Chain A
Amino acid sequence: MIRITGGKIFDPANGINGQVRDLCIDGGKFVSSVIGGRTIDAAGMIIFPGGVDVHTHVAGGSINFARAMTPEDHRRTTAFIRTQSRRSGLGGMAPTTFATGYLYAGMGWTTVNEAAVPVLSARHTHEEMRDIPILDKTSCVLMANNEIFLDLLEAGEFERAKDVIAWHVWAAKAYGVKAVNPGGVAAWKWGKDAKQLTDPIEGYNSITPGTIIGRLAQIIDELGLPHPMHLHCNNLGAPGNVWTTLETMKLLEGRRAHIAHLQYHAYGGDDWDTMRSASAEVAEYFNTHTNMTTDAGAVLFGDTVTITADGPWQHLLYKLTGRKWGNLDVENETGCGIVPYTYRPSNLVNSIQWAVGLELLLLINDPWRIFLSTDHPNGACFWRYPEIIQLLMSYDFRKDCMTKLSPIARERITLPDIDREYTLYEIATITSAGPARALGLTQKGSLGIGADADVVIYEEEKDIAKMFSHPRYVLKGGEVVIEDGDIRATPEGREFIVKPSFDPEIESFLKPKFEDVYTMSFENYPVEMERLEHADIRECINGQAPSPPRTAEKEPDRADEGVEF
């Protein structure tokens, strides 16, 4: 039992904006009152619900491949020293599993969504997630380039395709469905790509990326998955791709969708020389279409390693940079590429990318529909989120940073003209309440009675990045895990999964297909329940999509004076 007294509460899920209230915790959840137990005096401090990352890559074959490729980074990064209660680990561009838990929790994030899981190696992803302490997890399974699914779409067998998707979600013990460059990854296996929604897909006659996107969104809605289709649009990273992105959004009208890392999909211009920000066009459309949520996929200058299931884009990066390149194709399903990369302010393209991520966060006016992410590790490592929060909350700081950009870069972006500054309430929305809502995790991102007691307590101070990097306390499930910069406890996290309903007969359809294209026996493919530690199965309501994302009400007036940031 814990009582947290005197703190200023920022709880957008319950419309609380800086009021001083006590929080009571028992059995890992918020309750209305407790008697006895520990009291944490949070007088003058700021209290947020634990952070929720809607899109990150922290576990599985591809991030593990990235770890192997970057020993030079592991040597220069923060090392966590083993104690009797804690495992050792390394931070950096691709942190080890234990360090991933310590680093996320260390800045107040308590739930993450691993955004790309191939079914074939889902068992590996779950084993890694078990080794990420403290955090609760969800995962999205990659389906949009699954050849059995594409063959069914090509044959017009929609109902069976729906059963195939549902079966795979359960087999992978996933929570949602991710679509990466629909049709394009399948084509990449022949060294080709599919960039536009109407492009033919190598190896198929009738279907296009547009067909796949529309059908998959429909299937996910009809299956009633709590998280909508998690879509990595076609034509990622290419100048002029804003048209593909807008076409995709139009196609999705009337459907729920989460558009991942929007920054990489909001470029104008015709080529690398004429590339410019197109965030204004994207934001304008997005603002008036409330069926979608998105995450920023923001970029920060510095070293990182890029890793995505989008093999074609990765190969392009490799050609552009001439650096190390790893590529891993998974049979029948997907592929991934890995390239170490440095974003530089002196580089025009990188400058535009940096600005676009921030512009989208600032121009999309509803904080319930755009969330903080860097598509870790692609745009920057997750442990740099506090820097982005500072950029969002301080126009002056943004202006300082923009002096590093070339005059040409400044002409190609709209960031200098945007003076919006995020409030703490809005930050709490884009880092916690909003992503929890988009994921359909009702007990996350909230400090209300009955919600999971995941809490961050910050000491208010003027240096925003410092404040958000070093919370005074972090509680996960009612347990103090971080206190005064020390890791006090490393409890195991939970995994949320879903079981959409499907016709069990689908297995007799799948089995021979499997034996045809896969190299694993059909029985070994589904991940067993006992592989998951603390699995929590969420409801799906078949045929009934959860309501579209919540949109912003007017922000309630802030209750206190607060520090002038």
Chain B
Amino acid sequence: MTCTLGEVKNRADFIVYWGGNPAECHPRHFTKYTLMQKSKFLPRGRKDRTMILVDIRETKSGGAADIFLQIRPGKDFEVLTILRAILKGQHVNSSIVAETGLTLEQMTDFIDRAKKARFGCMFFGMGLSMTRGKHMNSAALLTLAAELNAFTKFVAMPMRGHGNVTGADVIMRWQTGFPFGITFNRGYPRYNPGEFSTVDVLVRGDTDAALILGADPGATMPQPAIDHLARIPTIVLDPKVTHTSRLARVHITTSVAGISAPGTAYRMDEIPLPLKPALKSPYPTDEEVVRRINEAVARKPHWMPADGPMTIMQH
């Protein structure tokens, strides 16, 4: 259940930010897309909208919220599951509810407001998706949004991190069927997050080379993953020196997408925006480097046996 940001701008009278701090991380989000905009359907703009912020601590975004719900760290999944139970009029164990940092009244009020909204939208950030429970926390929020559609229009959308993460996700999907966590070792895409996702592969030391594009895992990944990158031949394509480029065997300097390299960036709602470069760069684009690596690899003997099947039926 999702929508484009314009739908939120034009229609959303009930907006929830969960585990994200848009005031600091997505500074133009409130003014451009969500809270402050007036529209045909919400002529009074901010006054026509209710905003609830859910987080483990007060952030700058709190000032913009009508209601701030402070939950205990690591209790997102429990809170979301309780909300689902309340939505269905089910019993919840009130003695355990207290552990979440919220009261049953606060959560019932949340559901009442959500049901009364004409168009609700929940944004969720890394505070939800990267804390204990990870993908299940996101799943809990998405399920709640889906179930609210029995009462009113309701959508949910992740607040993605920096860079063109969404673009990578979108293109991997159309080319391979899967967004990430893919292996091509058998000549066709297979998917299993946790097994084939980059961080897990590196932590287990399951790879003997690495090509890093548009990311700085040396700054963000756990130490065993970084240690492995330093052990194996690592190639980094990046316009600047990064933690990863420092530990890599090879660093190829590339031009900056959007400033000196053209292309497409996908916004968090998967709307593609053209990148129109303003400057010229002496450095090649990422695309050109990858294309030339590909051409060089193609001149080597192909690694798949020539007499193998062209298609296989998986099972």
Q: Interface on A for B, CB 8 Å cutoff?
A: 59, 61, 64, 67-68, 70-71, 74-84, 86-90, 92, 94-98, 120-121, 123-124, 127-128, 131, 147, 189-191, 203, 315, 319, 325-332, 335, 486-487, 516-520, 524, 528
Contact = CB atoms under 8 A, between A and B. Distances in A.
A74 B178 contact: yes
Contact of B310 (A330, A332, A486): A486
B207 interface: no
A84 B274 CA distance: 31
B66 to A, nearest CB: 22
B88 to A, nearest CB: 14
Closest A-B pairs by Cβ, 9 of them:
A331-B6, A329-B3, A79-B188, A81-B187, A88-B188, A74-B177, A123-B272, A519-B6, A191-B153
Contact of B175 (A78, A92, A96, A191): A96
Nearest to B39: A517
Interface in B108-142: 118-119
Interface string B205-220: 0000000000000000
A518 B1 contact: no
Contact of A189 (B7, B170, B178, B310): B7
Contact of A83 (B7, B152, B310): B310
19 contacts: A70-B177, A74-B178, A77-B314, A78-B312, A80-B311, A82-B304, A83-B304, A97-B175, A121-B272, A124-B266, A127-B264, A131-B175, A203-B41, A315-B149, A327-B2, A331-B3, A516-B40, A524-B274, A528-B274
B302 interface: yes
B177 A519 contact: no
A471 to B, nearest CB: 16
Interface string B43-60: 000000000000000000
A123 B310 contact: no
Interface residues of B, number: 57
Given A123-B272, A190-B119, A71 B155 contact: no
B302 A83 contact: yes
Nearest to B193: A71
B271 to A, nearest CB: 6
A59 B315 contact: no
Contacts of A82: 184, 187-188, 304
Contacts, number: 174
Contact of B40 (A76, A96, A517): A517
B206 to A, nearest CB: 20
Contact of B5 (A76, A121, A519): A519
A335 B3 contact: yes
A82 B177 CA distance: 15
B163 to A, nearest CB: 18
A156 B163 CA distance: 45
Interface string B1-17: 11111110111000000
Given A88-B187, A315-B149, 5 more contacts: A74-B191, A81-B188, A88-B176, A190-B118, A524-B273
Interface in B242-275: 264, 266, 270-274
With most chain A CB atoms within 10 A of its CB, the pick from B41, B270, B310 is B310
B107 interface: no
A319 B151 CA distance: 12
Given A78-B313, A90-B188, A123 B264 contact: yes
Contacts of B3: 327-331, 335
A111 B82 CA distance: 51
Contact of A80 (B5, B188, B264): B188
Interface in B210-243: none
B69 to A, nearest CB: 25
A78 B312 CA distance: 6
Contacts of B170: 64, 124
A328 B314 CA distance: 30
A67 B180 CA distance: 12
A94 B177 contact: yes
B187 to A, nearest CB: 4
B296 interface: no
A92 to B, nearest CB: 8
With most chain B CB atoms within 10 A of its CB, the pick from A120, A203, A328 is A328
Nearest to A120: B271
B173 interface: yes
Contacts of B33: 519
B190 to A, nearest CB: 8
Contacts of B309: 81
B4 A331 contact: yes
A327 B274 contact: no
Contacts of A97: 174-175
B302 A84 contact: yes
With most chain A CB atoms within 10 A of its CB, the pick from B174, B179, B274 is B174
B291 interface: no
A75 B179 CA distance: 14
B282 interface: no
A75 B27 CA distance: 40
A524 B153 CA distance: 29
Nearest to B142: A326
A190 B153 contact: yes
A64 B1 CA distance: 14
Given A83-B304, A96-B176, A191-B153, A516 B270 contact: no
B280 interface: no
B298 A84 contact: yes
A189 B121 CA distance: 12
B4 A67 contact: no
A538 to B, nearest CB: 24
Contacts of B2: 326-329
Contacts of B175: 87, 89, 96-98, 131
A74 B188 CA distance: 11
A124 B272 contact: yes
Contact of B1 (A88, A131, A325): A325
